[in-house]
Amino acid sequence: MNPRQVADYMFNQDYFSQWMNIKMIEVKENYCLIEMPIKKDMINGLRTVHGGVTFAFADSALAFSSNNTGDAAVALNCIINFTKAGKEGDVFRAESILVNDTRKTAVYDIKITNQDQELIAKFVGTVYKIGKKVTDL
């Protein structure tokens, strides 16, 4: 399978990403660009996007980019910095780019922006390659 087919395979069984209404804009080896509309049920008590939603969105980008070669990888460590509050009606985009790759780990930079290209959050995710194929899990 090519990277887009692997990402689609994963997405079809990822009910949480489906609930978030994630759309895959672009997928290539060790890279993805995804989009998500901010819905009312993603808003916290301060009327901004819940930080857990933003983190989960970045985590989905990490998953679709780090597994799309067909070799399974799981999150080992993730760090997020929130730079701007999102609001209901925003459209978030997450771009995941491979920055370091070793035999057992890889590091991805993920930038989350809104529809005005304003930086919402910066996420760095390290994955561990588990030695199995995505389709075997």
pLDDT of residue 69: 98
- 10-residue mean pLDDT profile of the chain (137 residues): values are 98 98 98 98 98 98 98 98 98 98 98 98 98 97
Token pair for 35 = 């989009």
pLDDT at 71: 98
Q: At the topology level of CATH, where does 3-136 sit?
A: Thiol Ester Dehydrase; Chain A (3.10.129)
pLDDT for the residue 90 = 98
Q: Which residues contact 34 (CB under 8 A, 6 or more apart)?
A: 22, 23, 24, 25, 57, 60, 61, 64, 93, 94
